[in-house]
Structure 1
Amino acid sequence: MNILADLTKKSPENIEHIISSIQGKLQMINAAAMKPESFTASSYEDLLEIYEMVMSKDRFSPREMQAIVEELGNLKK
C-alpha cells in the first residue's frame, strides 16, 4: 500500500493497511486471527486510533500488547 495513503477515508483497503501495520509492528504470532475483513467501517475511527498509538511507540510491554489485541478483538464484527 502507498505509504502516503489517506487514512482519513474509510475503505477496505485502509482497514487492511491498518491491521497489517499493527500486526507487523506488534510482531503478532497469530496474525491470521486478525483478518482485515473481520472489521467494518463502523469501527474505523477506533481502528485508526489504535493504529496511530501503535505506530507512535517503539516498544510495548506484554500487558500493553495484550490490551491492544483485546481491544482489536472487541472491534471485530
Structure 2
Amino acid sequence: MTTETVTTRSSAPVRHAPLPPGQEMRKAPTTWWQTEELRGKVLERTLALPFTADTDTNQRTRRRGLVKLLDWLEDQPGRTWQER
C-alpha cells in the first residue's frame, strides 16, 4: 500500500493513505449555512448553550470579545465568515 504525500504551508509533509478500492473521495462543501448567517444570528448562537460562561462577568467578557472579533472579521475581504 502506498501513501500520497501532500506538502502544507508549514512545510511538514502530511501523508494520506489511499482510499480502499471502490470508495471515492468525499467532496467538501464550499460553504456551510453557519458561515453565511447574519451577525446577529452568529452572536445569538455563540452566546447560547453550550457556549455560555459560568458567571455573568465571564459571559459579558465573552460577548465583548466576540463583538470585537466580528467587527474585525467584517472588515476583512470575503462574502462569508469562513472566507474572511
Give the TM-score category using the shorter length: 0.3 to 0.5
Which entry has the higher C-alpha Rg, 1 or 2?
A: 2
**TM-score normalized by the length of structure 2:** 0.31
Which of the pair is proportionally richer in strand? 2
User: Structure with the greater relative contact order (CA < 8 A, sep ≥ 6): 1 or 2?
Assistant: 1
**Could you say which structure has the higher helix fraction?**
1
